[in-house]
Amino acid sequence: MAFWWPLLVLGIAFVICRFLLLLIPPNVPSIEVDASDVLEDGSQTKENSYIYIPSKGKQVQKDKVQCYEPATMKYLGFYPALTSDEVTMHVAQARKAQKIWANSSFRQRRKFLRILLKYIIEHQALICEVSSRDTGKTMVDASLGEIMTTCEKITWLLAEGERWLKPEFRSSGRSMLHKRSKVEFHPLGVIGAIISWNYPFHNIFNPMLAAVFSGNGVVIKVSEHSSWSGCFYFRIIQAALLAVGAPDNLVHVITGFAETGQALVSSVDKIIFVGSPGVGRMIMQRASETLIPVTLELGGKDAFIVCEDVDVPHVVQIAVRGALQSSGQNCAGAERFYVHRDIYPTFVAQIVKLVKSITAGPPLSGKYDMGAICMQEHADKLQNLVNDALEKGAEIVGRGSFGNLGEEVVDQFFPPTVIVNANHTMKLMQEETFGPIIPIMKFDTDEEVIKLANDSDYGLGCAVFSGNQKRAIAIASQIHCGVAAVNDFASTYMCQSLPFGGVKHSGFGRFAGVEGLRACCLVKSVVEDRWWPYVKTKIPKPIQYPISDNAFEFQETLVEALYGLNLWDRLRALVGVLKMISEQNSSSQTDRRRE
């Protein structure tokens, strides 16, 4: 007791000191970012606030990226569509800055993260409003999908990032006991990212944070559907980099169309792409020309499985949130609903009641649960999917409503829609929807629903609900996908220590977590002498040049001595090895005396 008492006191004192240190606010500099041109304060002139009527079909004007609010069609301005030469120039500038940043300390990198975190927390409303204006999502959806996920990533990097980028020592095996083995993680150079429009804030910060913290430069091409917000968010990054003394041009945000993206793929050291499978194939083809690594996140058709032993009202709330995530612009959202036959009527009745209470409309007014759809003419695609399902026996049993919409913006909205009697012959159950549609299908057994969930070209995620957690885990473990949530939805993405990505047409590679952070690095294996200069590798006499007659016999015996299945065989072989070395040495000494 006398021995343990001082240790206990020291332990308690250490815990108290750590707690007191947490109470001391860190000294984090503030940054100023000009937001006067992105705030909706009623001061806009006619020139930059008129109603924008986009042309039907493909955009004709390719030298400019036109920006407008999906919810109101108010014009926001334009950005240049960069040419291949201009993209190459941006990458060259980032490459020059990266050579300096690669030597930065983790302390400096953490300071950069803390400055960003402070700004985000203090300007949540501004960031969400900009995201809402550019993509049509509600403020609440922007907070959940943009702010919380980004803050979680920053805090994970602050807590664990340096640990996972330091050299990691590994075992050296039996034949290299005298060596020390390790893996080193060096910056790749310039990371390129081509990101989607559905989370304009987080989709910029997600690759940027990992790339910059691991010592890289980064060039990000934002979607033509969310360039306005992306260019404002870039100002935040620039201000934070300036505050920590980072080299100019370390991070770039560029705008444009396909040509811009192709040029980026051809000039960087790694490409991260978030988008459709079709474009993902083109990215891979272009990347193959320079043989750079590729990470593809290509969307999903996630199964939402509800067993008969659940708390139905609780799961209904989660189901609707999953289906309508980001105002129908769901990323890793629930798109196929499988409900056990025993609770099917109850589940449908409650989900219809909830969906009917949802109103879509201009999100910044604060009166609406769901906002506009970002992409032009996407409502037509959603209606075609619904029509196909209806022709094949499905039925609409409930829809949300619209608020007061101007005639020119009606096409940017689609009512939340519940569909029953769904089956896998319908395009709605096979194609990625990106819309506020809830198709529900019955199932009888766990084996049946596993088979249904795996009947998809996609394999991003799934969510499984059961009152028996072991049962839910067993179902989730048999679904062929990259992320799985048990009795929850999208919780995997909020755990930023976990890698995120899919299989099949959902892509490959991972971002987030240790795997995503290290994917921004050149992974180098290093072996060095453990006890240098006292113990070094020395080639045994029997296999030195010129090779002796018993060289292969020596190798056979050495292999058995190192890897034999039982200790006695290995000891016997070791004696044989030592005997052959001794005989070879004696023979060499005799030869030298004769000479």
Indicate which residues carry an active-site annotation: 297
Q: Are 436 and 328 in contact (CB under 8 A)?
A: yes
- Number of helices (H), then strands (E), in the chain: 20, 22
Name beta bridge partners: 271: 192, 294
Cis peptide before 167 (omega within 30 of 0): no
Neighbours of 123 (CB within 10 A): 17
Cis peptide before 546 (omega within 30 of 0): yes
- Could you tell me which residues come within 8 angstroms of residue 459 by beta carbon, excluding any fewer than 6 positions away? 300, 480, 481, 482, 502, 503, 504, 505, 506
What does each C-alpha distance from 428 to 212, 316, 318 come to in angstroms?
A: 40, 20, 21
What does each C-alpha distance from 328 to 1, 146, 348, 382, 455 come to in angstroms?
A: 63, 15, 19, 11, 23
Q: Are 346 and 377 in contact (CB under 8 A)?
A: no
Query: By C-alpha distance, which of 207, 213, 104 is closest to 158?
Result: 213
Element (H, E) at 574: helix 567-594
As given in the structure block, the two tokens for residue 20 are 């007191």
